[in-house]
Structure 1
Amino acid sequence: MRTPSGDLVAALDIGGTKIAGALVDSGGALLRTARRKTPAEGDAAAVMGAVSAVLDDLAGAPEWPGVRAVGIGSAGPVDASRGTVSPVNIPAWRGFPLADEVRRPAGGRPVVLVGDGVAMTAAEHWRGAARGRDNALCMVVSTGVGGGLVLGGRLHAGPTGNAGHIGHVSVDLDGDPCPCGGRGCVERIASGPNIARRALASGWRPGPDGDTTAAAVAASARAGDPLALASFDRAARALAAGIAATAALVEIQVAVVGGGVAGAGEVLFAPLRQRLREYAALSFTADVEVVPAVLGGDAGLVGAAAAAAERVGVWGGV
């Protein structure tokens, strides 16, 4: 294990509900943290104001002079080659030059931008469930489905920072239209809102509290409700098909699954492993493991720092 050095990376995790920041050391520890609510319905300047406030909090810490780079994991799509972001859940940011806007308050330090799924992947490979694996797919299954790849022992973000975005792989050629413009995407079937949508459409009804989220469907599934179980099985099939396709293309060893829907536990993982055995039938895909992510809510920050450290060479890479 690497002994933490004095060199730090500042990390930002930008989503539709919150903007989080941290100073991260070479052991993956969050030394200082800051947070603001995302003014998602505000104009571009208002959203950037929240980002700047988080950076100001971090810059006020005594450790700030030790920061060597800034890593950003953002809801996407992102375009790392241009340094721009167009998050679906932040309407005012379309082609927004986030890297340039962050570089100024960061004092000209190098800024590395990746999608939030790639950031989660970097975190799980560095300090989580994919640690020690040279080839991995890591996935976030929540209100959307995102992901990223590790190939040959290194994070593979791709030219725009979106590589491994499994949520928009089509697994049902005649499936429902997806907001991305495709059809039958993994996200359209396996995300939390779509698990709940399918359950309700099939006749599932919530309990007395009226909760219609995927978490409520998961609770019904644990209690044996066949309609809830069927909705999770459908999601598991979509995820399994996407994982199998990825394994056939790039020969991954493990698929790490995190995000809120993964909190359903074996309600999701049991059918997912079963369906993967059906879809991943080739000899070089059949042994792919499926494991839960372990870093939870810190993954975006840890991963943004790891992605920046690898790109810039802080700590000798991670």
Structure 2
Amino acid sequence: MSDDTAKARGTVLGIDIGGTKMAAALVSADGTVLTGDRIATPSGDADQVFAALGELIERVSGDAAPLAVGIGSAGPVDQQHGLVSPVNIAGWRNFPIVDRVRAMTGDIPVALGLDGHCFALGEFWGGAGRDAHTLLGIVVSTGVGGGLVVDGKPLIGQSGNAAHIGHVVIDQDGEACVCGSFGCVEAYASGPRMVARAQRSGWRTGETVDAEVLAADAAAGDELALAAFDDGAQALAAGIVATAVTVDLTAVVIGGGVAKAGPVLFDPVQAWVKRLAQLPFVTDLTVVPAQLDNAGLLGAAHQAWAALA
């Protein structure tokens, strides 16, 4: 038996599936990542996308025999039937991810959760939310996802899609969202939508740019880039405050690629939250950056350990 295989005894396999990347890792009961890797999420039909994920799982697992699997996926998800229909993965609609992964890994528990739930659970387990009692976690990236940990436990909902903050409607007459509705948080606060809004205003028109470039220009004082971040921040703040007054929370953690913009995102978010959170029980609402680069992966692994309890 190899040293790596010996170390991997007593581990679970965590899988994090998003529109931009897929990650997998063997994780111990204390949250230590023993082996892990990630790939860009491929385009293609359902089987082509899963083939890439399958290769990643095999590469990470090696000769190890994980005790359980936890999957965090972009949503919507159908936990009851083990299906996923990620908005940002066109090839997967009602894709039987649980059955397909179980066929690869053997007859072990496979727990499926929304990626935002896993992010919140990971930050609660070992990141910026570990001292919180009730926590809202938000991922701002290609889309906007979220998850709630209430009284120390993830709030899942009957379908497994609770706290989908990106699709909280904040403007009924607002912009069309990829989900089919209008005026959702994601329609204003996701990286691609902020970039598109800035370009419509005259910022880097005709160039192929992304949210990282937008953030760099905002940090340098570009007024159009700053305005796009302020619009996105206002949408995020509206969703945050709506959630806070619904479940009575004071701790919010934001991660994801767009959150790496730092103060150009967090300063206006905090300012808008302060403006919108006027009821006494949410006036102490705090919004902080995520501490973990792999919170979603750790949250998925946490689900797997919980499935063994």
TM-score by length of 2: 0.92
* Residue among 20, 24, 27 paired with 1:24: 27
Which of 273, 279, 303 is the matching residue for 1:276?
273
- State the partner residue of 1:264: 261
Query: In structure 2, do the counterparts of structure 1 residues 288 and 19 end up closer, same or farther at CA, with 3 Å as the change threshold?
Result: same
- Deviation per residue, 1:97-154 (Å, 9 max, x gap): 1111111222110000011111111110101111121111000011110010001111
State the match for 2:167 in structure 1.
168
| Counterpart mapping for 1:145-224 below 5 A | 145-205=144-204, 210=207, 212-224=209-221
Maintained 8 Å contact 1:78/1:115? yes
Residue type matched to 2:300 in 1?
A: A
Q: Is the Cα contact below 8 Å between 1:77 and 1:88 reproduced in 2?
A: yes
Distance 1:214 1:79 in 2: 30
| Residue type of the alignment partner of 2:297 | L
Given the superposition, is the C-alpha separation of residues 33 and 205 from structure 1 closer, same or farther in structure 2, using an over 3 Å criterion? closer
Unaligned 5+ segments in structure 2 are 1-6
Residue 24 of structure 1, CA deviation? 0.2
Match of 2:234 among 233, 237, 240: 237
Name the CA distance, whole Å, in 1 between partners of 2:47 and 2:223: 48
Give 3-state SS (helix, strand or coil) of 2:34's partner.
Answer: strand
Who is 1:46 aligned against? 48
Matches within 5 A, 1:294-313: 294-296=291-293, 298-313=294-309
CA distance in 1, matches of 2:223, 2:292: 32
RMSD: 2.0
Residues 128-137 or 17-26, more deviating = 17-26
CA distance in 2, matches of 1:284, 1:251: 7
Change (3 A) 1:205 1:39: closer
* The one of 200, 213, 223 aligned to 1:226: 223
Residues 106/77 of structure 1: CA separation in 2 closer, same or farther (3 Å cut):
same
Give the 3-state SS of the residue equivalent to 2:249 in structure 1: coil
- AA matched with 1:233: D
Structure 1 Cα separation of the partners of residues 50 and 225 of structure 2: 41
Match in the other structure for 2:102: 103
Q: Which residue number in structure 2 is paired with residue 249 of structure 1? A: 246
Deviation at 1:37, TM superposition (A): 4.7
Choose 9-18 or 233-242, whichever is displaced more.
9-18
1:15 — aligned with what? 18
Structure 1 gap segments, 5+ residues each:
314-318
Letter of the 2:305 counterpart: A
Distance 2:244 2:83 in 1: 30
Deviation digits for residues 227-264 of structure 1 (CA, Å, limit 9, x no counterpart):
22211111111111100000000011211011111111
Match of 2:58 among 56, 59, 63: 56
Corresponding residue of 1:33: 36
Residue identity over aligned pairs, in percent, reads: 50
Question: What SS class does the counterpart of residue 105 from structure 1 fall into?
Answer: helix
Question: Number of aligned pairs?
Answer: 303
Corresponding letter in the other structure for 2:16? D
Distance 1:38 1:142 in 2: 14
- Counterpart residue type for residue 102 of structure 1: V
Confirm or deny: 8 A CA contact 1:155 1:307 kept in the other structure: no
Paired residues of 1:5 and 1:26 also in contact (CA < 8 A): no
Q: Is the 8 A contact 1:120 1:300 kept in 2?
A: yes
Q: Which residue of 2 aligns with 1:91?
A: 90
TM-score by structure 1 length? 0.89
- Note closer, same or farther for the CA distance 1:228–1:51 as it changes in structure 2 (3 Å cut): closer
State whether residues 8 and 34 of structure 2, in contact with CA within 8 Å, keep that contact through their aligned partners in structure 1: no
Supply the distance in 1 between the matched residues of 2:99 and 2:239 (Cα, whole angstroms). Answer: 35
SS at structure 2 position matched to 1:134: coil
Alignment of 1:129-148 (within 5 A): 129-148=128-147
Post-superposition offset of 1:155? 1.2
Q: 2:289 corresponds to which residue? A: 292
**1-structure distance, mates of 2:297, 2:204:** 37
SS state at 1:249 partner = helix
- AA aligned opposite 2:267: A
